[in-house]
Amino acid sequence: MSDFVIRDAVASDVPALAQLHVDTFIETHTGRGPTYQLRESQWRQCFNEENPNWFCYVIADSRGSLIGFAKGVPYTGSITEYAGELNKIYLLRKYHRQGLGRRLIGHVSRRFLSAGIGSMLLFGDAQNPTNGFYEHLGAVRLLTPTGEFHGGYGWQDLHELALQCPIG
């Protein structure tokens, strides 16, 4: 584990973060995704905003190359039981099952807790084979009023989640 470093993303990470976002999106969704130019523009916009409410952690390997990231934002949508949103989490597939995603989630949950946010949700692809990862960490499926599952998950207690997810 010590070969990997998790830290706050900074503006100078944008080119590497944009490429990582493209690569991991394609791996996860098995096909074409948004272009590098689009992702670079989106990440630059995030860093250029004067909005202190979002954050992003990156994980780097021993060479300093980015291999994963997680972005958090306050949740302001209609599901009132949740105050934080794990807006994005991606990790290159070859680094799955090494505890790195769990560490990223640990950082995100602690960041929300330090901001007074005690619950979190995420919206993903209902067919994503890695959804079991969220369920293993205690997330509950968010169902529509008619009982359908569209890929949303939630944690009501980030204190409990933080206990399950080491950061070091």
Euclidean distance between CA atoms 80 and 77, whole angstroms: 7
| CATH code of residue 101 | 3.40.630.30
CA distances from 140 to 4, 8, 13, 28, 156 (A): 29, 27, 33, 21, 9
Does residue 106 have a pLDDT over 50?
Answer: yes
What's residue 121's pLDDT?
96
> Based on the structure, what is the number of domains in the chain?
1
Of 1-15, 25-39, 40-54, 143-157, the least confident: 25-39
What value does the mean pLDDT of the chain take?
92
pLDDT one-digit tens code per residue, 93-105: 999 999 999 999 9
**What is the domain extent for residue 65?**
5-164
Share of the chain above pLDDT 70, in %: 99
* 3-state class (DSSP) for residue 84: strand
Q: What is the pTM of this model?
A: 0.92
What's residue 83's pLDDT?
97
Euclidean distance between CA atoms 61 and 4, whole angstroms: 5
Does residue 7 have a pLDDT over 70?
Answer: yes
Q: Which helix (H) or strand (E) holds 114?
A: helix 100-114
pLDDT one-digit tens code per residue, 108-152: 999 999 999 999 999 988 888 788 999 999 999 999 889 999 989
